[in-house]
Amino acid sequence: MNALLETRGLSRDFGGLRAVDRVDFSLMPGEIRALIGPNGAGKTTFVSLVCGRIEPSAGTIVFDGEDITALPAHRRVRLGIAYTFQITSVFSNLSVFDNVALAVQRTLADGRSQGRLRAGVIEALERVGLADRASLPAGQLAYGHQRLLEVAMGLALRPRLMVLDEPTQGLGDSEIENFIALAREIAASATVLLIEHNMDVVMQLAHRITVLEAGRVLAEGTPEAIRADEAVQRAYLGGGA
Amino acid sequence: MNGSARLWLLHAAVVALLVALNFLLPAYHHGLMARILVLATFAMGYNLTFGYGGLLSLGHAMFFAAGLYGAGLGIQHLGLGVPAAFLAGLACGAALALLAGLLALRTTGVAFMIVTLMFSQAFHLAILYFSAFTGGDQGLVLRPQQRRIETALGTLDLTDPTTRYLTALALFAVVLFAMLAIVRSGFGRVLVAIRENEERARMLGYDTFASRLAALVTSGTICAAAGAAYGLLFGYVGANFASVQYSILPLLWVLLGGAATTLGPLFGTVFMYYLIDIASGYTSAYMLAVGVILILLVLFFRKGLLGTLRERWLRWLP
């Protein structure tokens, strides 16, 4: 089976700082991959390179067999790479419905079909449990619900690769439980790349884990292998996890 | 009645009221309203980039003047008929908007204001420089016989006050309903999304540059239609319409009426025109009175007349 996403020698410098350093990474279709590492390890920079939000200094990115290194971000989204923002970034003055409609109407061949648009929006909102709040301005939602709206917008794009950047940050325990169930559901139709600090979430969800440190891949393997890895424990898990 | 039907009815009612005014207004106000309807169309075009697109342009006089001169020069030098001259004006505005947009839209914010202002100033100076064709700062006067449309049913004489008013209203109505359709369409939603959060819109797969360019070209074409109509209806093609004053006026009209509202440009233009008209009847220092009232409006109706109305009471207004 061919990798859905593959990077070779991917690097990014900010001034003198090498935030991402020659990363070779590959992700199989259907996988849930967690990307972990200490703050400043380059996780968000790495996924931003994958999504096209920033340009790499060196290296190549291949998505589903196609070299996308030079593609602008919006073209990559159209190929099926969806990104949900680390800092909640919904359109707060627009209604919840309109937020998701923006994602749905792009995937419809005929964006003017009001019936199919509405159906698509409601379906995405039902999956995250926000259907009853469709007419509220997004800015009036509680924080946890804004995170869910962010996920709904990603879902509505019908992506092949869903990049979730710290989706559980700021959520309460029960909300995290719901999120884990939701992430499993997302994984049924898309490959998931998850940046996450909450190790419980990572251990429950991830098929494999990639550990970044100082811009490099420190280790990669199954949750059990990563938990047992001494280098990882020293760098990140503080020896006790 | 669903929300969509209510909106179309509301806009149709406004147009119907304007039709009724044709029969009710005394001659002076009838003439003034014809002018206001054309300028309100200009303001609606401006509103598309400024209100919905969130781009503060200081160069829209160029698009208005492109329509004005495209039509006027077409009649004067090429002997075009009225319909062909109107289309020539539209084409000039669209082409200029495309050219200006390809360069200016590489910038945003203050830089965008400066670049559009410079484009517009260059256009104004070009009109003055090529005075052999354009009449320089004297402008061109279109003779009454150049402003007639011969049709199978008879002659449409644009110098006749009723014809003039109804023609201006027809243009206004077409653009008003087009704007209503645009802002309620998927494209309108994308424009607002880009205004609110460009990075997020891009990460939903939208080519934000292309969307903005489409908005600017549509806006420029609408402004050019207003300019062409102005020249054909009132018979004067003058360089002062290309001056910076005519870039700032639509901004004021839209701000007063309510940015990103479909009916705001009409109300803002009517309000400002009549404010000046009434104030100048009392005092020669009328601009002082106008200034004070504008400051009060900005203080207490921060989002313009309709924008404030929408915020406080009528959330369903488009």
Domains and CATH numbers, chain A: 1-80+159-241 (3.40.50.300), 93-158 (no CATH)
B300 located within any domain: no
Average pLDDT over chain B, rounded to an integer: 92
> Is position B257 within any domain?
no
Host H or E run for residue A162: strand A161-165
Closest by Cβ to A73, choosing from B190, B197, B203: B203
- Does residue A8 carry a pLDDT above 50? yes
Domain coverage including residue B35: 3-243
Q: Which of B185, B193, B208 sits opposite A91 (nearest CB)?
A: B193
Assess whether pLDDT exceeds 80 at residue A239: no
Alpha helix ranges (H) inside B130-157? 131-134
Residue B296 lies in a domain: no
pTM of the model: 0.90
Using the predicted structure, report yes or no on whether residue B248 has a pLDDT greater than 90.
yes
A8/A2 Cα distance (integer angstroms):
15
**Hey, CA dihedral for A158, A161, A165, A170, is it positive or negative?**
positive
Task: Please give the pLDDT value at position A236.
Answer: 66
State whether residue B73 sits within 8 Å of chain A by CB. Answer: no
For A197-207, what is each residue's pLDDT tens digit? Answer: 888 999 999 99
pLDDT of residue A241: 40
Minimal Cβ distance to A103: which of B196, B204, B207: B204
Q: Does residue A156 carry a pLDDT above 70?
A: yes
Record: contact B204-A92, CB cut-off 8 A: no
Model pLDDT, residue A106: 85
| Percentage, residues of chain A above pLDDT 70 | 95
User: Over 60: is that where the pLDDT of A238 sits?
Assistant: no
Domain assignment present for residue B295? The answer is: no
Round to whole Å and give the CA distance between B255 and B251.
6
A29: buried, middle or exposed (CB in 10 Å: 19+, 13-18, 0-12)?
Answer: middle
User: Looking at the domain assignment, is residue B202 inside a domain?
Assistant: yes
Long-range contacts, stretch A41-46, CB < 8 angstroms, 24+ apart: A41/A212, A41/A213, A41/A214, A41/A215, A42/A12, A42/A212, A42/A214, A42/A215, A43/A195, A43/A212, A44/A86, A44/A165, A44/A195, A45/A12, A45/A19, A45/A20, A45/A215, A46/A10, A46/A20, A46/A212
pLDDT of residue A240: 44
Q: Are B310 and B265 in contact (CB under 8 A)?
A: no
pLDDT classification of A21: cutoffs 50, 70, 90: very high
Among A5, A10, A62, which Cα is nearest to A28's?
Answer: A5
Contact pairs from chain A to chain B, CB under 8 Å: 60
Q: Residue B242 corresponds to which amino acid?
A: A
Question: Any chain A CB within 8 A of the CB of B35?
Answer: no
ipTM at complex level: 0.87
Kindly tell me if the per-residue pLDDT of B1 is higher than 60.
Answer: no
Question: What does the pLDDT look like over B249-305, one tens digit per residue?
Answer: 999 999 999 999 999 999 999 999 999 899 888 888 888 888 888 888 888 888 888
Q: Does B200 touch chain A (CB under 8 A)?
A: yes
Tell me the residue type at A120.
Answer: G
Q: Do A74 and B197 touch (CB under 8 A)?
A: no
Asked if the structure places residue B98 within a domain, the reply is yes
What is the total count of domains within chain B? Answer: 1
Residue B203: pLDDT over 70: yes
What CA–CA distance (Å, rounded) separates B118 from B97? Answer: 14
Which range among A67-76, A209-218, A227-236, B8-17 shows the weakest confidence by mean pLDDT? A227-236
Q: Is B155 on the interface with A (CB under 8 A)?
A: no
Which among A83, A94, A103 has CB closest to B192? A94
Average pLDDT over residues B122-136: 94
